[in-house]
Every structure is written in C-alpha cells, then in structure tokens.
Amino acid sequence: MRMKLAFLVTTAIIAIAGAAPAQEKGGVINVATIGEPPTLDPMVSTADLVGIVTQHIFETLYTFDKTWNVTPLLAQDLPTISADGKTYDIKLRTGIKFHDGSDMTSKDVVASLNRWMKVATRGKQASAFIDKIAENGADGVKITLKQPYAPLLSLLAFNNSAAIIIPSEKQDEPMKEFIGTGPYMLKERKADQYIQLTRFDGYKSRSGESDGYGGARHQYLDEIRFVPVPDANTRVEAAVSGQYQYVDSIPVESYDRIKASSASDAMMLKPFGYPVFVFNTKEGIASNLTVRKTITKALSMEDMLAAAFGSKDFYALDGAYYPKSYSWHTEAGVEGNYNLANPEEAAEELKAAGYKGEPLRILTSRQYEFHYKMAQVAAEYLKLAGLNVDLQVVDWATLTQRRTDPKLWDIYITHSPFLPEPALIGALSTSSPGWWDTPARKAAVDAFTAESDPKKRVELWANVQKSIYDELPLIKIGDFNAVAAKSKTLDGVDPAPWPYFWNASIKKQ
C-alpha cells in the first residue's frame, strides 16, 4: 500500500549538510552498536540489532524504497497477482550467487520460505494464509494462498524475522553457516568484540539508482565491523572523539554535544518510532486483563517520556500507533485509555480484583538507556498502585532470549520504528512474545489482512487499534526521535531506522 508519508529519510534532520561527494572505494569502518546480537539468523529474531547487521549478509525477495513502497530485491519485479488475490507468481533474478559460489535458484527460495514459515514469527503469521509455495521453473516461484492476504509482500520485504534466501542444503535449525547473497559476507565473529564483514566480490547489484533499501547497492568499503558498545555514555564519548565511523542509538540529551563535535555529525530521525510495554498475556499476573488495565491506569506516559527524552524536541505524547502524518493514523480506542496517571484508583481496582502481592516482573535493559529510564518511572507509579514490582535489568541479548519463555516475565520494554504496514507490528502475531490470541484479535486482524482495498484497510486498521486498547497486549508510551552519529569522514549514509552501509564510503584525506 502506498503511504502518504515519505520514507523517514526524507524527513530526517541532519545536523550538518554538505554537497554530495564523489565516493571512493576501499577502507574499513567501525560501527558502534548497542550490544551483541543474540543471533545472526534474522529469521528467528525480531531484534532491530540483528536486522541492522544481517541485512548486509542476507537478502530477501523484496525490500522497501525511500517512500516505503515494496520494491524487488532478489525478485526480478513485483509479482503477478491473480484476479482473486490468491496466487503470486514471482520471477527471480538470474545470475545471483551465494557467498559459497553456488547459484540461487527457485529450489533455494522455496526451501528458505518454508523454513521462514516454520521458525520466524512473521513467517508463522503468514503461514496461516499460505496454502503452498512451489518452484515454477529454475527462476520462478508460485505462492498460493488460502485467501487474499494484503500484508504478504511487506512481510517478505521486512529485515527482521526476515524471509532471507539461503542455499537449500543449508537450512539447519539453528543456522550453522551464515551464507547469503548480500554485498558483504561474514568473515569472523568474536563474541562481545566485533562482527567482521568483508566485501563479497561475487555480488550482483541491481541496476539503476539507490532507492532507500532498494535499488543499487554499491560496495565501496572493503570491510565493515560491528562493535558492541553497551554503555550509552561510552557511545557518546566515542562519537565525540570520532573513535567509530558510525555510532547507533545515542541518548537524545547528547544531541547538542555531538553537533558541536569536530569529529562527528549528529543525525536525528524525526519521528522515529515509539516505545512500548509488552504484556505476557499467556502466563503470570499480566495474563489477567483486569491487571493489565489497572497497570495502564496507573502509569503516566508523560512522566516516562520526560524522564527518557528530556526536552519535548525529542518526544510527543501520543497514544495513536501512527502519527497524524501517516495515512494509518486513527484515534480509535485512545480516549480514556492513555496517560491516565491514576495509581490511587488503580490500587482500589487491584484490591477488588483480589491481587495478593504477586511480583510483577519487568524486563528492561540499559543498553537502550531510555528503556531503563521509563522503567524506573513506571516502577514508582506501579508501587503507588500497590504492585510488588520486580525490575530486572539485563543486557539486551538476555532480554530477547528471556522474553521467549512465558514463565520468566510479565512485562518487557522495547520500541519500534513506525512501520510501513501495520501487520508488521510484532504483537499482532500470536507467536510473538506476549502471545496475544483472542477471538477479538482474530476477528479484527483477519478482516484487516484479508482486505486489499487501501481505503478500506485504513478503516479496518482502526478496529485493530481499538482491539489493542480493549485487550491491552501492549501499551504505547508515546512518539520519539532517534539520534545517531557519523564520522565527518563517512559518506553515503542516510538516516534510516535500520542503518545500512552498502553505499557508504570513506573520504580520502
């Protein structure tokens, strides 16, 4: 579906603008990330960090252009879709090589998509609508659906829980060899030190201009190293000193300091996305809807945002899952259910519900410092409501592992960029941690995903958002802007929710 809002790149604020330079070939860049990714298999993880790294190694049939439209990547063109919306014929690009030198064929694509439907949360989400995936010659694939399913192409294009294409004979679970078709290939991974990628000389780029995540992917760099730097203050100091060519996820209060640096440029994405508290609806105290409602009633979203981001230049109080600039925007369900900040009334409702002091286990991490600051404020409001708060602060990799076990947590804190297709929101999948699976969810989500008419889908999305507020599988805290830093010697890197470096180059001094 075509969105009214241009890709975030077009609305990003770059602290220092310059003329487009000629890009040079060669060199190595170091990219500071928030930590060690829990895996390098992007099918099995929805973590942004996994997607940021692995999108350079693996590729999907489709991706997103700069206006968030689906565009072909390993597919030759957009699919031919039957009149009833149930058959997708996909022509594959030819001459595509895997990192082991073998040729990509339809056999690899079918095997990979079947693995995706088995192990990936978004693949499982799509699998409920897919009847069959079959080879259609050596360079074609046919997907047959049980019923029309509008989000399919967006799910195939997304870079986490991703439908990556890997060799048919290397479909191990868990993945043993990290062989893709991407512009860079894995050379070495040293846990908690670096992930080293080197140029894949057999890469076949699309022709034409670069276009968001689509179009041409140029391999100017010899090597990209992703280095885990879990401490936010250390990342700030590294950006100021120019220790790394790119530094991801910098606390917003450091924006002016980065701007004033002689080594780095500050980059802001506005708006970037939204933090959320995800409830465990499957087991434990938060599986009770009354408890989820009282928790929501107790919290002050405004105070959490202020603690996390400081100035209103960096956040907005907004309960809608898409801002007004998006065609998906709706206020359905928001009124009376957002930013209530009433712990006293919440305490009375908890007592009436028979709450007996069971611990409320909240998972958070300091690698995203704003998560931790929101958790601290939330804990105080929830204590005022009479809840026995168990705030568990762990590293991000541990959090992403623990959230897969419903016995270990009640709330986990995360965030999401604004996604081009609402069906990409993880909580809408019944297999996503949180495990929201009710008749109301099914009715609202199924109607939304089965509709192909863009205007009707906007109306049906309002029903989904209302169901989210009615049943509270998660709560949105507000909107926020994201800050990163890039070296003044680095060219070809545009602000993006998942930064990519296949078009990056280093200026010759």
Residue 362 has pLDDT above 60, yes or no: yes
Residue 158 has pLDDT above 90, yes or no: yes
Residue 10 has pLDDT above 70, yes or no: no
Closest CA to 248 of 455, 501, 58: 501
Contacts of 392 (CB under 8 A, 6+ apart): 361, 362, 363, 364, 409
Separation CA 116–CA 6 (nearest Å) = 29
Q: Give pLDDT tens digits for 48-106.
A: 999 999 999 999 999 999 989 999 999 999 999 999 999 999 999 999 999 999 999 99
Mean pLDDT of the chain: 94
Residue range(s) occupied by CATH 3.40.190.10 in the chain: 36-228
Assigned token pair, 9? 């790149």
pLDDT on residue 22 = 57
Q: Residue 426 gets which letter from DSSP?
A: G
- Side-chain half-sphere exposure of 145, counting CA atoms within 13 A: 21
Residue range(s) occupied by CATH 3.10.105.10 in the chain: 272-480
pLDDT on residue 508 = 80
Separation CA 385–CA 381 (nearest Å) = 6
Report the Cα–Cα distance between both ends of the chain, in Å, rounded. 44
pLDDT on residue 17 = 37
Q: How many helices (H) and strands (E) does the chain have?
A: 14, 23
Closest CA to 434 of 292, 273, 293: 292
User: Given pLDDT bands bounded at 50, 70 and 90, which one contains residue 394?
Assistant: very high
pLDDT on residue 509 = 67
In terms of CATH architecture, what is 36-228? Answer: 3-Layer(aba) Sandwich (3.40)
pLDDT on residue 21 = 47
pLDDT on residue 23 = 74
* pLDDT, mean of residues 6-32: 60
Separation CA 185–CA 99 (nearest Å) = 7
Contacts of 107 (CB under 8 A, 6+ apart): 135, 168
Contacts of 173 (CB under 8 A, 6+ apart): 115, 118, 119
* pLDDT, mean of residues 398-415: 97
pLDDT on residue 24 = 79
Instruction: Provide Rg for the chain, Cα atoms.
Output: 22
Length of the chain: 509
Burial of 292 (0-12, 13-18, 19+ CB in 10 A): buried
Residue 30 has pLDDT above 80, yes or no: yes
User: Given pLDDT bands bounded at 50, 70 and 90, which one contains residue 131?
Assistant: very high
pTM for the structure as a whole: 0.89
Can you identify the CATH homologous superfamily of domain 272-480?
Dipeptide-binding Protein; Domain 3 (3.10.105.10)
Backbone angles phi, psi at 122, to 5 degrees: -75, -30
Contacts of 407 (CB under 8 A, 6+ apart): 283, 284
> CA of 152: how far to CAs of 145, 270, 423, in Å?
10, 28, 9
CA-based torsion, 42, 70, 208, 48: positive or negative: negative
Q: Give pLDDT tens digits for 268-317.
A: 988 899 999 999 999 999 999 999 999 999 999 999 999 999 999 999 99
Decide: helix, strand or coil at residue 249. Answer: coil
Decide: helix, strand or coil at residue 429. Answer: coil
Assigned token pair, 419? 């996604």
Separation CA 6–CA 20 (nearest Å) = 21
* pLDDT, mean of residues 456-485: 97
Residue 321 has pLDDT above 90, yes or no: yes
> What letter represents residue 174's amino acid?
P
pLDDT on residue 79 = 97
Please identify which residue in the block is written with the tokens 């990936």: 120
Q: Give pLDDT tens digits for 175-192.
A: 999 999 999 999 999 999
pLDDT on residue 492 = 95
Closest CA to 452 of 88, 65, 63, 64: 88
Helices (DSSP H) in 22-158: which residue ranges?
48-54, 106-119, 121-127, 152-157
